[in-house]
Amino acid sequence: MKKWKVNVIVLACVLLISVNVYLIVGNENKIPRLQIVDQILSPTERDLVESIEKPGIILSTNEEHIYFNENIGSMGDLYVAEGQEVHVGDILFTYENIKIESTEQELQSKIDQIDLKTSQLSEEIWTITSIKNRLEQQNYQFGDEAEEELTAFQNQQIDQYEVQILQKQHQIEALEFERDIHQQYLLALNSLQYELEVTSPVTGIIKEVNTQQNAPLLTIVSSTLLAQGELTQAESQEIHEGLRVEITGHNQEPINGILSRISNLPKEEPSLDKETTYPFYVDWDMEEPDDGIKVGYHVYLNIIQNEIHSAITIPESSILVENDEYSIFVIEDGLLEQRHIELGMSKNNHQQVTRGVVLRDRLVANSTGMLDNNPFVTKLKVQEIDETAQLAFRKKTLLTLMLQGFVQ
């Protein structure tokens, strides 16, 4: 009798398990399967940046070499020293040309003499004119014959004075013409004198003062700076000119620059034993605060390849990949809904979704093994249940819940 009861119980258990297995596994069953969801999350909005960071160094855009020309003259005064800052138009040094200075002095002396002689002639003209005017105003009261003789003599003197005045005026005109010639020559020498003053063509810093022959007397480093880095062969094919670059130094805020040029020639002679690198250069607006960036400073150059603002992102683990299609499981009305999505940029496990997700959606953190249009429960976290609440359940209630969970 006891053996019969045992067989019946065993058969009933086997039948119960078989029916449940069939209902769960069978392809044509219509029974909803309860899904267990580990974690529920919502999409987030963030900025995504795809970039390459390279080490770089600050360089000057150019160096100006100022040479000394012995054909112009000998060395005069030197107004600058190494390390001194200069601006465009500042006098750097001067030449001394004794011949030019001597000629200038000679011309100036001639001009002064002409001015003196012209002044004397003008005074003589004024004196003669005064005498002539007085003669013209004199009237003689003599006999007719005597009066005629005096008048004729007076007119003769007036004519002589007029000739003298005219001659002196011609002399003044000749002297003024000569003075103009000397003055033009002097102006030409003065303009040549300006060439004896050598001025700075750029704003920068005096890097070197060298008095050796055949070497630049002065080397000026331009104040306009640029950053230089190097790209590998693969990177040079991905990076292009015009990209935004963040320049960051030690304890400094990033400075926004532009990748202005990528060299077509490698930095060093190509070799099979080492990787070929290509220099690139970054310009930036010098009006931005540079916090004292100087030539030779080492910096980091963060080349921004792609940048998306306010992108909707989800964890990569929440995405289900089937036949090159991407989908997620979204919670809708208490059921799991499988929804196809389109992806964009991915950065640090943050996957951009361009279509199929909005910020208010709630989705499953791990889509593996989830089924569409099925109810779900989240895992019970016993450590979060209050001990008093656990004691509130009767043993019969707990047993019933356990059986329901097993059947489902």
* pLDDT tens sequence across 73-112: 778 889 999 989 899 889 999 887 656 666 777 778 888 9
Average pLDDT, the chain: 79
Would you mind telling me the total number of residues written for the chain in this entry?
Answer: 408
* pLDDT surpassing 60 at residue 140: no
**Residue predicted with more confidence, 387 or 74:** 74
Strand order across the beta sheet in which 218-222 lies: 63-66, 218-222, 204-209, 85-86
What angle is formed at CA 380 by the lines to CA 378 and CA 381, rounded to 5 degrees? 120
pTM equals 0.55
pLDDT at 52: 92
> Which residues are CB-contacts of 103 (< 8 A; sequence separation ≥ 6)?
189
CA distance readout (Å), 16 to 13, 23, 28, 389: 5, 11, 19, 32
**Residue predicted with more confidence, 391 or 262:** 262
152 pLDDT band, cuts 50/70/90, is confident
C-alpha 175/C-alpha 292 separation (Å) is 63
* pLDDT surpassing 80 at residue 233: yes
C-alpha 107/C-alpha 99 separation (Å) is 12
Residue carrying the six token digits 């356990």: 402
The DSSP code for 69 is: -
pLDDT in tens, 264-308: 988 888 888 888 999 999 998 876 545 567 888 899 999 999 888
